[in-house]
Amino acid sequence: MSDVMIEARDLSKSYGSVAALRNATFEVNRGEVVGFLGPNGAGKTTTMKILTCFIAPSDGTARVAGADIFEDPIAVREAIGYLPESTPLYTEMLVLEYLEFAGKMRSLRGDALRNRIRKVVEETSLGEVVGKSIGELSKGFRQRVGLAQALIHEPPVLILDEPMSGLDPNQASEIRELIREIGRERTIILSTHNLAEVQVTCGRVLIISNGRLVADDTPEELAARAGKPRFIATLKRNGHSAAEIRNAFSAIEDAQTVKERDGMGPNELVIEVVAKSQQDLRAEIFHAAVSANLVLLGLEQRGENLEDVFRQLTTQETEAAS
Ligand SMILES: Nc1ncnc2c1ncn2[C@@H]1O[C@H](COP(=O)(O)OP(=O)(O)O)[C@@H](O)[C@H]1O
Ligand SMILES: [Mg+2]
């Protein structure tokens, strides 16, 4: 069997005059955890609904675990566990009842159903709440119930629509850990509008803006696009020559270039240090100044970070949406 678990070819979707998705082409390989990152309204949910056969694309096609969404939607749905954006959990139902219901929807019965429930309850650490009604649970636990439901039929592919949204930082980090755990043996696409989330959870990031894919990179590659940070240090000369001062900073191992210029005050020199990659050199610059007996009057960091890259790639969309 091929290692491509999800293959989208030129997917487009319009709602009336709104082009929600335009010619999206991407692949996800077995075992990858891919982040689908974009601002609100970018087309993330639309793409996920197409892959799960909830809606049909206006154009293009997709295959999941080798099955075509048009030719074999049942096989596609069997291969996928889906956590929708707002999980339609039945708040009156007990957790156990709900998982039984979810399992029966996936044609599980008898011992097979009981075994799978036991397994997913263990996997998502729901043991202490199986007898509670879903309405009583915190958002974090409801999200686990949603994940348990998505896992009940042992799908090779998971599609999770904003699984961390609305959670407090503790709950979010628990769910993130859980997703990482689950992702060890599955293929996962998860959507988010939160950049920090994909950096820690995903091996690859697809950035979507205004219905178009604008980047397909690892978080490291994205960070490399951000350009190298520059550090601007203002120093008192204290009788040292500019060359002496420059030499003190040239010794910093991760410095790529060091330049100097006169500062605002009569006795001031400004040193600009560009890092070799994404390192934060503020501490090294401070120590270099101290060991050369220089007084550091100011230190600031300039240059783009990953958030700037994301903002640049998606600005059009953010403006349109606000
Ligand atoms: N059922 C719908 N009818 C009309 N427009 C829709 C519908 N669903 C989504 N849209 C529009 O499609 C675009 C993409 O939406 P969506 O896929 O939900 O984005 P995201 O999940 O990235 O926030 C938005 O402009 C949204 O308003
Ligand atoms: Mg959405």
As a three-state string, the secondary structure of 135-193 is HHCCHHHHHHHHHHHHHCCCCCEEEEECCCCCCCHHHHHHHHHHHHHHCCCCEEEEEEC
What is the tens place of the pLDDT at every residue in 242-292? 888 889 999 999 898 888 888 888 889 999 898 888 788 999 999 999 998
Which mutation among 11, 12, 13, 15 tests ligand 1's pocket best, with the greatest number of atoms within 8 A of CB? Answer: 15
Reported as a single tens digit per residue, the pLDDT across 217-247 is 998 887 777 677 889 999 998 888 888 888 9
Q: So what's the pLDDT on residue 259?
A: 86
The answer to whether 30 and 201 have CB atoms below 8 angstroms apart is no
Q: How far is the CA of 212 from the centre of ligand 2 (A)?
A: 15
In whole angstroms, what is the distance from residue 7 CA to residue 64 CA?
Answer: 7
SS3 category, 216: strand
For the CA of 43, the closest atom of ligand 1 is 17
Ligand 1: which atom is nearest the Cα of residue 16? 4
pLDDT by residue (tens digit) across 22-81? 999 999 999 999 999 999 999 999 999 999 999 999 999 999 999 999 999 999 999 999
Taking the model in full, what pTM does it have?
0.78
**What is residue 156's predicted lDDT score, i.e. its pLDDT?**
97
- pLDDT for residue 265: 84
For the record, the structure tokens of 278 come out as 């994404």
Question: Looking at the predicted structure, is the pLDDT value of residue 304 above 80?
Answer: no
Q: What is residue 318's predicted lDDT score, i.e. its pLDDT?
A: 41
- The domains found in the chain, sorted by start residue, are 4-224 (3.40.50.300), 228-302 (3.30.70.260)
Of 295 and 229, the structure prediction assigns the larger pLDDT to: 295
